[in-house]
Structure 1
Amino acid sequence: MNLNHLSIFQAVAASGSISGGARELHISQSAVSKQLAEFERALGVLLLDRLPRGVRPTEAGRLLLGYANRLFAIEAEAAQALGDLQQLGRGRLAIGASRTIGGYMLPDTLAAFRRRHPGVELSLQVENTQAIEAKLLAGEIDIGFAEGIVSSGLLDYQVFAEDELVLIAAPGHPLASGAALSLAALAGCPLLMHEVGSGTRAVTERALAAKNIRLRPAMTLASTEAIKHTVATGVALAFLSAQAVRTELKAGTLGVVEVKGLRIRRPLYRVQLKSAWLSPALEAFLGFLPDR
């Protein structure tokens, strides 16, 4: 079915005359008459009764007009939706972030974006770095934020911030006295760690390996909050992001243990599929990220 013919038929039927349809479409009456005749021949039915004054849809014409009205209403709705999307009146943005970034760095950014663009639906999935990369490759999220080591050639990694890992202990722990810990003493300390696949764990292990320290974790916990609470009991130490322990350090429920000759800094990455299309929502969101 020729949609141009259908639009001419709809305009004429709605106006009740060939001349009225021609005025609405800004084309000549002869062109309208010719197109309508071609449309009726193609369909094999008479759509309009030609009256002394104007036209009137036949039974077939009334049937087709109902479909035409719905079709062009949907077309107008689609155009409006695309316009809204471009203007960020609607849309959806799925974000994945590793624990430190998702739990302690992105919430303020998400809140600011939401205030500016309330029509965009936001979702945040907090997983370890390995899982974030897998979700990006599977197309389950639009953008990821990772704190681990670059591992996939299919993904584009852009540093958007930096972080430091600090060794934390309970305030009453013998090593929290203020004296710096030697690397040899660190090797004998029980440490809590995230599971394999965690960016924090991968960066910690690499930094310690560079100092010839290879540790087996005393306990593996999948939650940063669980690690902090366990460290606070005094049974072990842990390396965590300084971002993740700001509140506890300020409150005095955890303390930082300095290690001689060891400082663990790491880049934090914004991760996307290479050559991925930036939706209007994603492009706007990137503008809310802090400048390095």
Structure 2
Amino acid sequence: MKLSLRQLQIFCAIAQQGSTTSAAIAVSLSQSATSAALNELENALGTRLFDRVGKRLVLNDNGLALLPQARRMLENAQQIETRFLPGHAELKTRLRVGCSTTIGNYVLPLILGELRQSAPHLRVDVDMANSMAIARKVADFEIDMGLIEGPCHLPELNAEPWLVDELLIVASQRHPLALRQQVSLDDLRTAEWLLREPGSGTREEVEQLLLRHLHNLAETHQIGSSEAIKHTLAQGIGISCLSRWVVRDLLVSQELIELPHALPMLTRRFFLIRHRDKFISPGLGRFWESCGQFANQPFLDLCRK
């Protein structure tokens, strides 16, 4: 066999770091040895894997095609090593979990707290981004699994419905619509809306739910995080549709109120996602199981934590 796992490890490091110098530090080799390993890999495959753009190495089409396969092989090799270590060391492994920002800020910390009690040696590294970016990282084997808001459209992933999340239309008590006993559909259409960025699971779900009834929103502003949106709302600026997880603290303090409207209850699903070819290690299985157990707890019990 012409290829080695070490070559693939170095290739992945260069792809991530963008240079042989930085990759050499990541894999504990000299820069010359790192460059030599890349040359050997490219010679074995009979093709270039990177284009040089200034001082950076950027994956070309061949490199982009190889990257997820290389990560998969390295993942499988790591799982083999872990499985045969003594003392059930698979439960002492470090997982890479990706999640969208709402889940990462408000839900995942509760899961990690419970997991620490049942699997104290399991370590979880958390990567937070919008749902689209997390799904792409799971598809490319950059992370072990994802917890996202809304459905996933990548065919290489398995998506399991998870939590039911309630979305509330909220505003400051100082907002003019807060004085209404009933907010009409026309009031909602013509209001100033604060929404997440495209690619956010919240943005996708909110648009689908609202436009089904309102058909269009006259004025929208994009803000890059739900935290920023809710604190902007508290200043009396605009209205928004946000997860109850996000706004429950400001509802309790009465800095925000839920607007009374004629729309049906707005809900969405959170999803657990993993690659169809992903090996389910005992550690990953334990984390997945903990997420399922968490979903069976009443929401009011979770709110009191």
Other structure's SS at 2:194 match? strand
1:125 Cα shift?
Answer: 1.4
| Deviation digits for residues 43-95 of structure 1 (CA, Å, limit 9, x no counterpart) | xxxxxxxxxxxxxxxxxxxxxxxxxxxxxxxxxxx78972345562x201111
Other structure's SS at 2:86 match? helix
Q: Is the 8 A contact 2:189 2:218 kept in 1?
A: no
Structure 1, 253-262 or 110-119: larger mean CA deviation: 110-119
Unaligned runs of 5+ in 2: 1-80, 297-305
1:160 Cα shift?
Answer: 1.4
Distance in 1, matches of 2:210 and 2:87, equals: 51
Other structure's SS at 2:245 match? coil
Unaligned runs of 5+ in 1: 1-77
Corresponding residue number in structure 2 for 1:127: 129
Q: Is the 8 A contact 1:86 1:280 kept in 2?
A: no
Amino acid at match of 2:281: S
Other structure's SS at 1:156 match? strand
Corresponding residue number in structure 2 for 1:82: 85
Corresponding residue number in structure 2 for 1:166: 168
Corresponding residue number in structure 1 for 2:59: none
Q: Is the 8 A contact 1:149 1:202 kept in 2?
A: no
Distance in 1, matches of 2:290 and 2:85, equals: 23
User: Could you say if the C-alpha distance between residues 217 and 270 of structure 1 is closer, same or farther in structure 2, counting changes exceeding 3 Å?
Assistant: farther
| Deviation digits for residues 210-231 of structure 1 (CA, Å, limit 9, x no counterpart) | 1242126532111111101101
1:190 Cα shift?
Answer: 0.3
Other structure's SS at 2:263 match? coil
Q: Is the 8 A contact 1:97 1:126 kept in 2?
A: yes
| Deviation digits for residues 6-28 of structure 1 (CA, Å, limit 9, x no counterpart) | xxxxxxxxxxxxxxxxxxxxxxx
1:258 Cα shift?
Answer: 2.3
Corresponding residue number in structure 2 for 1:265: 267
Deviating beyond 4 angstroms after TM superposition, the runs of 4 or more aligned structure 1 residues are 78-81
Corresponding residue number in structure 2 for 1:108: 110
Distance in 1, matches of 2:284 and 2:260, equals: 40
Give the structure with higher Rg (CA).
1
1:1-292 counterparts in 2 under 5 A? 82-86=85-89, 88=91, 90-177=92-179, 179-215=181-217, 218-289=220-291, 290-292=294-296
Other structure's SS at 2:174 match? coil
Q: TM-score, normalised by structure 1?
A: 0.68
How many residue pairs were aligned?
214
Other structure's SS at 1:270 match? strand
1:199 Cα shift?
Answer: 0.7
Q: Is the 8 A contact 2:83 2:89 kept in 1?
A: no
Percent sequence identity is: 31
| Deviation digits for residues 131-167 of structure 1 (CA, Å, limit 9, x no counterpart) | 1101101111111011123311111111111011111
User: Could you say if the C-alpha distance between residues 121 and 160 of structure 1 is closer, same or farther in structure 2, counting changes exceeding 3 Å?
Assistant: same
Other structure's SS at 1:218 match? strand
Other structure's SS at 1:102 match? helix
Corresponding residue number in structure 2 for 1:49: none
Distance in 2, matches of 1:79 and 1:150, equals: 30
CA RMSD of aligned residues (A): 2.0
